[in-house]
Amino acid sequence: MLTTFITVSILTFTFINEQNYQAKMIWWTSMIVLVVIRLIDIAEWKLRSSKTNVANGQLGLWRFSLGSVLTACVWSAYPLFFFTQMDIVEFATTVMIFSSIAGGSPTVLAGSRFLTLLFTIILMLPISILGLTAPEQYLNFMGVLGLVFSVVMILSGVKAAKFTKDSIKLKNTNAQLLDEINSNKNQVSNVNSELKLATSKLNTVNLDLEQEVIKRTEKIFQLSNLDALTGLKNRKAFTLELDNLIEKSVENGKPVALLFIDLDGFKKINDTMGHQVGDRTLIEVANRLSAFSDANRCGRWGGDEFLVALSYSDQDTAMSIASAMMTSIAQPINVSGNEFYLTASIGIALAPVHSLNAADLIQLADLTMCEQKQLGIRKPRVFSTELKGKIEASQLILDGLQHALEKKQLYLCYQPIQCAKNNTTWSFEALLRWNFNGKFIGPDVFIPLAEKSGLIKEIGAWVLNRACMDAKHWQCNQRAAVSVNVSIIQLMDDGFIRLLDNILRSSGLPPERLHLEITESTFVDNEKKIRTQLEQIQARNIHVSVDDFGTGYSSLSQLQTLHVNYVKIDKAFVDNIEGKGDAIIRATLFIARELNCKTVAEGVETREQALALSAMGVDYLQGYYFAKPMKNIDLISWKNPISNFPV
CATH architecture label of 414-431+456-635 = Alpha-Beta Barrel (3.20)
Tell me phi and psi for residue 417, to 5 degrees. -120, 120
pLDDT-based confidence at residue 84 (cuts at 50, 70, 90): confident
pLDDT one-digit tens code per residue, 168-201: 888 888 777 777 788 778 887 788 788 888 777 7
Phi-psi map region of 208: left, alpha, beta (phi>0 left; psi -120 to 50 alpha): alpha
Specify the DSSP element, H or E, that contains 128. helix 113-133
For residues 365 and 52, what is the distance between their CA atoms, to the nearest angstrom?
92
| Cα three-residue angle 178-180-182, rounded to 5 degrees | 70
What's the rounded mean pLDDT across residues 117-132? 84
Residue type, 185: K
Residue 547: closest CA among 431, 411, 454, 420 = 431
Q: Give the pLDDT confidence score for residue 497 in this predicted structure.
A: 95
Q: Is the pLDDT of residue 634 over 50?
A: yes
pLDDT-based confidence at residue 54 (cuts at 50, 70, 90): low
Instruction: Show the DSSP H helices in 226-314 as ranges.
Output: 235-252, 266-273, 275-290
Ranges of CATH 3.30.70.270 domains, the chain: 235-383
Phi-psi map region of 336: left, alpha, beta (phi>0 left; psi -120 to 50 alpha): left
Residue 433, burial from CB neighbour count under 10 angstroms (0-12, 13-18, 19+)? middle
The DSSP string of 83-103 is: GGG--HHHHHHHHHHHHHHHH
Write the CA distances from 645 to 39, 279, 421, 423, 606, integer angstroms: 140, 60, 9, 6, 12
Residues 6+ positions from 235 with CB-CB distance below 8 Å = 299, 301, 302
Highest-pLDDT range among 37-46, 170-179, 556-565: 37-46
Write the CA distances from 69 to 123, 201, 504, integer angstroms: 9, 68, 105
Residue 60, burial from CB neighbour count under 10 angstroms (0-12, 13-18, 19+)? middle
The DSSP string of 37-64 is: HHHHHHHHHHHHHHHS----HHHHHHHH
Q: Is the pLDDT of residue 623 over 90?
A: yes
pLDDT one-digit tens code per residue, 229-274: 998 999 999 999 999 999 999 999 899 999 999 999 888 888 788 8
**Rounded to an integer, what is the distance from CA 87 to the centroid of its chain?**
103
Higher pLDDT, 90 or 543: 543
pLDDT one-digit tens code per residue, 469-482: 999 999 878 889 99
| Residue 52: HSE in the Cβ half-sphere, 13 Å Cα cutoff | 7
Highest-pLDDT range among 47-61, 92-106, 496-510, 561-575: 496-510
Q: Is the pLDDT of residue 553 over 50?
A: no
For residues 495 and 489, what is the distance between their CA atoms, to the nearest angstrom?
11
Instruction: Show the DSSP H helices in 473-599 as ranges.
Output: 488-491, 496-507, 527-539, 556-562, 571-575, 581-594
Q: Give the pLDDT confidence score for residue 357 in this predicted structure.
A: 92
Q: What is the 3-state secondary structure (H, E, C) of 146-182?
A: HHHHHHHHHHHHHHHHHHHHHHHHHHHHHHHHHHHHH
Q: Give the pLDDT confidence score for residue 611 in this predicted structure.
A: 93
- Taking CB atoms within 8 Å and a gap of at least 24, the contacts of 368-376 are 368/260, 369/260, 369/261, 369/262, 369/345, 371/347, 372/345, 372/346, 372/347, 373/262, 373/264, 373/345
Query: 348 and 257 in contact (C-beta within 8 Å)?
Result: yes
Percent of the chain at pLDDT > 90 equals 40
For residues 524 and 545, what is the distance between their CA atoms, to the nearest angstrom?
16
**Number of neighbouring beta carbons within 10 Å of residue 399:** 10
For residues 288 and 331, what is the distance between their CA atoms, to the nearest angstrom?
10
pTM value surpassing 0.85: no
Residues 6+ positions from 162 with CB-CB distance below 8 Å = 113
Q: Give the pLDDT confidence score for residue 141 in this predicted structure.
A: 80
Residues 6+ positions from 485 with CB-CB distance below 8 Å = 429, 430, 432, 463, 516, 517, 518, 547
**Number of neighbouring beta carbons within 10 Å of residue 230:** 21
Query: 567 and 549 in contact (C-beta within 8 Å)?
Result: yes
pLDDT one-digit tens code per residue, 487-538: 888 988 999 999 999 999 999 999 999 999 987 655 555 677 888 899 999 9
Pairing of β 305-311 and β 256-264: antiparallel
pLDDT one-digit tens code per residue, 329-354: 999 999 888 898 999 999 999 999 99
Residue 151, burial from CB neighbour count under 10 angstroms (0-12, 13-18, 19+)? exposed
Write the CA distances from 27 to 73, 179, 544, 565, integer angstroms: 11, 50, 126, 129
pLDDT-based confidence at residue 428 (cuts at 50, 70, 90): very high
Ranges of CATH 3.20.20.450 domains, the chain: 414-431+456-635
Positions of E strands within 271-387: 298-302, 305-311, 333-335, 338-340, 343-351, 381-382
Q: Is the pLDDT of residue 294 over 80?
A: no
What's the rounded mean pLDDT across residues 54-76? 82
Higher pLDDT, 55 or 110: 110
Tell me phi and psi for residue 374, to 5 degrees. -65, -35
Q: Is the pLDDT of residue 292 over 60?
A: yes
pLDDT one-digit tens code per residue, 365-417: 998 998 888 777 788 999 988 888 877 788 888 899 999 999 999 999 999 99
Q: Give the pLDDT confidence score for residue 646 in this predicted structure.
A: 67
Query: 281 and 266 in contact (C-beta within 8 Å)?
Result: yes
Residue 481: closest CA among 396, 402, 416, 536 = 416
CATH of domain 235-383: 3.30.70.270
Average pLDDT, the chain: 86
What's the rounded mean pLDDT across residues 196-216? 70
Residue 285: closest CA among 324, 342, 337 = 342
| Residue 381: HSE in the Cβ half-sphere, 13 Å Cα cutoff | 25
